[in-house]
Amino acid sequence: MMDKHYLTPLFLPESIAVFAGPKDSDEPRFAQAQAVSAALRAQRFAGRLVFIDIHTTGTLADLAQTRADLAIIALPPEDVIEALEVAGRIKCRAALVLGSGVNPDRAAEMHRVARRHGMHMLGPNSLGVQRPRAGLNASLVGPLAAAGSLALVSQSGALTASILDWSTQNTVGFSAVVSLGPHTSVDLAQVLDFLATDPQTHSIVVYMEGISNARRFMSALRAAANAKPVVVLKAGRKKAGNQAAQTHSGTIVGSDDVFDAALRRAGAVRVRSFVELFSAAKCLASRYRPVGKRLSIITNGGGPGVLAADWVSEIGLDLGPLSPELARDIAPQLPALASMSDLLDLSEDATPAHYRTAIDAAGRDRNIDGILVVHSPKSGVDAAEVAQAMAEAKSHLNKPLLSCWMGDASVGKAREVLAAAAIPTFRTPEAAVGAFGNIASFYQNQQLLQQTPPPLSALAKPDVEGARLIIENVLAERRKVLTEMESKALLSAFHIPVTQTILARSANEA
């Protein structure tokens, strides 16, 4: 049996002590506390809840019999220290401090108290945690999300709330939602470390503005990305955003180019916009994973299909045409005007049965890694029936199936059918292709990381003796710094490429 992760009391507690102020208080300073209490009571949390008011002496007298895994503290900043002391007294192993506006000095004091009692503390300035399968809504970001296999970790409470609101209409469920604020004790790296081994989580979406410990973050990210897909949206790519992110999150933002390279090295996928993050979340929620970048496009309109194909080339994917053998097999079952040269253009006469035939064929083709259906409204064709045909076809597929439903007024019902079947659907061909590309990038990164570098024996041996002579000469002259020529000679001794340099001893020589 595996040992429990040290953050299990925080993310999977069996008992919770809730510090939320006086019951039914109408004081403005307890507004957030009342909201958290209501959220916790509204759900069917399987564990035990104990509500504690630190200002009630009778309650404190009974604490000798109280024990809890997690302390949830939703009090004004001036009351948090006392609540942490009480939480330590009842042997809580983790603490979640909700709210905002805690300055660095007060946050540091909270950290000291939590450490003294051996508690792992998420917060302060956190908007909380949700664990939908456990019925736990310890957050200030809205109602409990639907249960799913996607974990969301965010350094912005506003974006967390926005994503959860969006997920309701898009049928995206979550295994965990974690809001990290500035000056939190449990950081992004530790949350990733937990999610890497969390059986409820199959993929992870991260919004971040900076990190406090680069080495620990990279180690945790590499471990998580090695186990499951991780998609990251990082703010602060440009100077203005960089400064704003540092102010907001209280973390080190750093060079964007360095961060980009580090993400690729860790095997994670980076997206560049909030729209791309939404798109990635849709695809990850479906749980099907591409093993390559060959995308088959099935459409009933040449224009939208060509737009999708253009974007396939634009972002470095490959168009996946149907094999000649399969194309010949299904040709009699398709409209007379259907074309299968590169796209599967079913023509305007396409019916739900034609879509089903094309999807089934693409699903059997080993040279296709994913399928995108692009549908445009056509008179006489029920879009909802086409969507139902896609839903039925999906049950037999072992590769990603995405859809782009053009139009709006006439395709609302179709989108509902697709959402119920957990088929990611998009409004533009570019968004759909981009979403597939981001998820395919994860597996491409994993393959690159698993490639074995050539053995050292296959390379020319370094000139160790020459390098030793350079260093000995510098030391003999009692110098600590190498000249440019010496530095390049040293690098060249180990076959590290350098620019050619010729030493000129005078202006005339130069």
Asked whether 406 and 430 are in contact (CB, 8 A), the reply is no
As a whole number of angstroms, the distance between CA 17 and CA 54 comes to 11
As a whole number of angstroms, the distance between CA 107 and CA 85 comes to 14
pLDDT tens digits, 441-481: 887 777 766 665 555 555 567 888 888 889 988 888 888 88
Give the range among 21-35, 90-104, 258-272 with minimum mean pLDDT. 21-35
Pinpoint the residues of the chain covered by CATH 3.40.50.261. Answer: 145-287, 291-438
pLDDT tens digits, 400-432: 999 999 988 888 899 999 988 989 999 999 999
Strands 120-126, 94-98: parallel, antiparallel or unpaired by DSSP? parallel
Q: CB pairs under 8 A, 24+ apart, for 379-383?
A: 381/300, 381/350, 381/351, 381/352, 382/352, 383/410, 383/411, 383/413, 383/414
pLDDT of 240 strictly over 50: no
Provide the CB-side half-sphere exposure for 291 (13 A, CA). 5
Asked whether 412 and 262 are in contact (CB, 8 A), the reply is no
Determine how many CB atoms are found less than 10 A away from the CB of residue 318: 15
As a whole number of angstroms, the distance between CA 234 and CA 207 comes to 6
Choose between 112 and 251: higher pLDDT.
Answer: 112
Which pLDDT score, from 0 to 100, does residue 3 have? 66
CB neighbours of 217 closer than 8 A, spacing ≥ 6?
187, 188, 189, 192, 211
Choose between 323 and 64: higher pLDDT.
Answer: 323
1-124: CATH architecture: 3-Layer(aba) Sandwich (3.40)
As a whole number of angstroms, the distance between CA 101 and CA 182 comes to 10
Which superfamily is assigned to 145-287 in CATH?
Succinyl-CoA synthetase domains (3.40.50.261)
Q: Is the dihedral of CA 76, 78, 80, 83 positive or negative?
A: negative
pLDDT (mean) for 156-184: 91
pLDDT (mean) for 485-498: 86
Pinpoint the residues of the chain covered by CATH 3.40.50.720. Answer: 1-124
Which pLDDT score, from 0 to 100, does residue 241 have? 44
pLDDT (mean) for 95-109: 91
Asked whether 277 and 325 are in contact (CB, 8 A), the reply is no
Q: Is the dihedral of CA 452, 453, 458, 463 positive or negative?
A: negative
Structure-token pair, residue 30:
């307890």
Structure-token pair, residue 80:
């948090």
Instruction: Please tell us whether the domain made up of 291-438 is placed in CATH 3.40.50.261.
Output: yes
Number of H helices, E strands in the chain: 19, 18
Which pLDDT score, from 0 to 100, does residue 509 have? 64
- 256-266 and 214-227 helices cross at what angle (nearest 10)? 40
Q: Mean pLDDT across the chain, nearest whole number?
A: 87
pTM equals: 0.80
CB neighbours of 170 closer than 8 A, spacing ≥ 6?
278, 282, 419
pLDDT of 85 strictly over 90: yes
Which pLDDT score, from 0 to 100, does residue 63 have? 65
pLDDT (mean) for 349-375: 96
Q: Please give the C-alpha separations between residue 259 and each of 68, 232, 236, 262, 266, in angstroms, as whole numbers.
A: 39, 11, 11, 5, 10
Which pLDDT score, from 0 to 100, does residue 286 have? 76
pLDDT of 11 strictly over 90: yes
Instruction: State percent of the chain over pLDDT 70.
Output: 88
Per-residue H/E/C for 222-288: HHHHHHCCEEEEECCCCHHHHHHHHHHHCCECCCHHHHHHHHHHHCCEEECCHHHHHHHHHHHHHCC
pLDDT tens digits, 265-321: 888 889 988 888 888 888 888 776 767 899 999 999 999 999 999 999 999 999 999
The residue whose two tokens read 């100077």 is 239
Which pLDDT score, from 0 to 100, does residue 497 have? 82
Structure-token pair, residue 226:
């090695």
pLDDT of 97 strictly over 60: yes
pLDDT (mean) for 373-382: 93
Which pLDDT score, from 0 to 100, does residue 206 have? 96
Which pLDDT score, from 0 to 100, does residue 503 have? 64
Which pLDDT score, from 0 to 100, does residue 248 have? 42
pLDDT of 62 strictly over 70: no
pLDDT tens digits, 35-61: 888 888 888 888 899 888 887 655 555
Strands 147-154, 294-299: parallel, antiparallel or unpaired by DSSP? unpaired
pLDDT of 246 strictly over 50: no
Determine how many CB atoms are found less than 10 A away from the CB of residue 22: 14
